[in-house]
Amino acid sequence: MDEKKRIFSAIQPTGMMTLGNYAGAIQNWVKMQDEYECIYAVADLHAITVRQVPADFRKNAMQLMAILLACGIDPDKSLLFFQSHVHQHAELAWILNCYTQMGELSRMTQFKDKSAKHANNINAGLFTYPALMAADILLYQADLVPVGEDQKQHLELCRDIAGRFNGIYGDVLKVPEPYIPKVGARIMSLQNPTSKMSKSDTNVNGYILLTDETDTIIRKFKRAVTDSDAKVEFKEGKDGINNLISIYVAATGKTVEETVKEFDGKGYGDFKLAVGEAVADMLAPVTKKYNDLLANKDYLMQVYTKSAEIAEKIAMRTMRKVYKKIGFTEK
Ligand code: ATP
Ligand code: LTN
């Protein structure tokens, strides 16, 4: 029998997951579990590139663990752990830093965006963030990396770093492929549909959190920014409506064509309400499961501890190879 291909992906515990994270990444994580060997992490090491308040940080990380399981990550099929629990991530990141150029890092749009946003804390970690991300992936010799569109550039860099390392030392690291969904790859803010929906947005009406109540979800969709044509169609320049169509497609599984046909002749009011209801219906069972899981800390601990142990074994194999190839003296 063919060996299953391996997936790695991660998400930062910087706050509750948004509909953007869900449609752009996590829906795929869940779908891929049967076909692939999946390794998923809560990227807590990445999160400290932005200042975190310890108590909130700890809470966010555990909440993210619970919501990932509530979304359908199945610990019987996949690994799910905290990045900081497998110390090889930080170790390989250091090494890869030495095979990454300053010029490459300074071209990363996420670095430019985040350093503009956190102008008083442009730390070196924010700059070398992609080397840690490359370490996450290469440590497990992953074949595929499911992410939203915004992470494509980091993934390209990861491939370049792996290629460069292999160019010097032979075939040590598997060069991974990105896996970006056709639907939902970039969910935009409901208030400013030209920028991505982000949990760190200062306007709460711009994003939907996975834990938002049904009324809140409907209210936020009712307020969503659209245009003045009053025609539900997918067309350049209609950013607000295009975004709502993408969300509807992600929530219902219908196609763009089916959606446009369904709302032919109907107003934006009806459409916004339908999108809100579809999203609320999709999220209601997730929220319920999330609350149950969060009340069961022992179970969560069992999941992430066991996963980290298995992950560490895989990580150690790569590290041994890397150390040997580089020429470090053996212990
Ligand atoms: P922050 O707002 O703190 O920068 P974020 O919401 O962008 O965080 P991440 O943890 O950086 O979340 O990303 C987790 C995953 O979600 C990544 O695969 C990313 O590509 C995807 N993602 C994030 N935002 C969106 C979005 N608006 N649309 C689609 N996918 C997204
Ligand atoms: N940078 C990613 C989170 C992340 C990640 C990874 C994604 C950290 N390590 C490895 C894929 C593979 C983000 O979503 N902002």
- How would DSSP label each residue in 34-54? TTSEEEEEE-HHHHTTS---H
In Å, how far are 96, 101, 170 from 326, measured between CA atoms?
11, 18, 11
* pLDDT value at residue 331: 87
Q: Can you tell me the distance from the alpha carbon of 266 to that of 262, in angstroms, rounded to the nearest whole number?
A: 9
> What predicted TM-score, i.e. pTM, was given to this entire model?
0.93
* pLDDT value at residue 201: 85
Domain boundaries, the chain: 6-184+297-326, 204-291
Q: Can you tell me the distance from the alpha carbon of 147 to that of 135, in angstroms, rounded to the nearest whole number?
A: 16
Residues of the chain with pLDDT under 50: none
What is the separation of C-alpha 326 from the centre of its chain, rounded to a whole number of angstroms? Answer: 32
Q: Which CATH architecture has domain 6-184+297-326?
A: 3-Layer(aba) Sandwich (3.40)
* pLDDT value at residue 323: 98
Point out the catalytic residue in the list 5, 77, 152, 199. Answer: 199
Is the CB of residue 135 below 6 angstroms from any atom belonging to ligand 2?
Answer: no
Q: Which residue's CA is minimally distant from atom 14 of ligand 2?
A: 11
CATH 1.10.4160.10 fits 204-291, yes or no: no
Terminus-to-terminus CA distance in the chain, angstroms? 38
* pLDDT value at residue 181: 83
- 114 included as an active-site residue: yes
Pairing of strands 37-42, 6-11: parallel
Query: What 3 state SS string does 146-198 have?
Result: ECCHHHHHHHHHHHHHHHHHHHHHCCCCCCCEEECCCCCCCCECCCCCCCECC
Is the CB of residue 10 below 6 angstroms from any atom belonging to ligand 2?
Answer: yes
Q: Can you tell me the distance from the alpha carbon of 319 to that of 115, in angstroms, rounded to the nearest whole number?
A: 31
Instruction: State pLDDT tens for residues 87-118.
Output: 999 999 999 999 999 999 999 999 999 999 88
DSSP state of 143: S
In Å, how far are 90, 139, 301 from 315, measured between CA atoms?
11, 5, 21
Q: Can you tell me the distance from the alpha carbon of 5 to that of 143, in angstroms, rounded to the nearest whole number?
A: 6
* pLDDT value at residue 108: 97
* pLDDT value at residue 2: 64
* pLDDT value at residue 1: 54
Q: Can you tell me the distance from the alpha carbon of 144 to that of 265, in angstroms, rounded to the nearest whole number?
A: 42
- 59 included as an active-site residue: no
- 196 included as an active-site residue: yes
Is the CB of residue 44 below 6 angstroms from any atom belonging to ligand 2?
Answer: no
The per-type count for the chain, helices as H runs and strands as E runs, is 14, 5
- Structure token digits, residue 198: 């982000």
What percent of the chain clears pLDDT 90, i.e. is strictly above it?
92
Q: Which residues have any ligand 1 atom within 6 Å of their CB? A: 11-12, 14, 18, 20-21, 24-25, 147-148, 150-151, 185-187, 196-200
Point out the catalytic residue in the list 114, 220, 238, 272. Answer: 114
- Structure token digits, residue 302: 């069992």
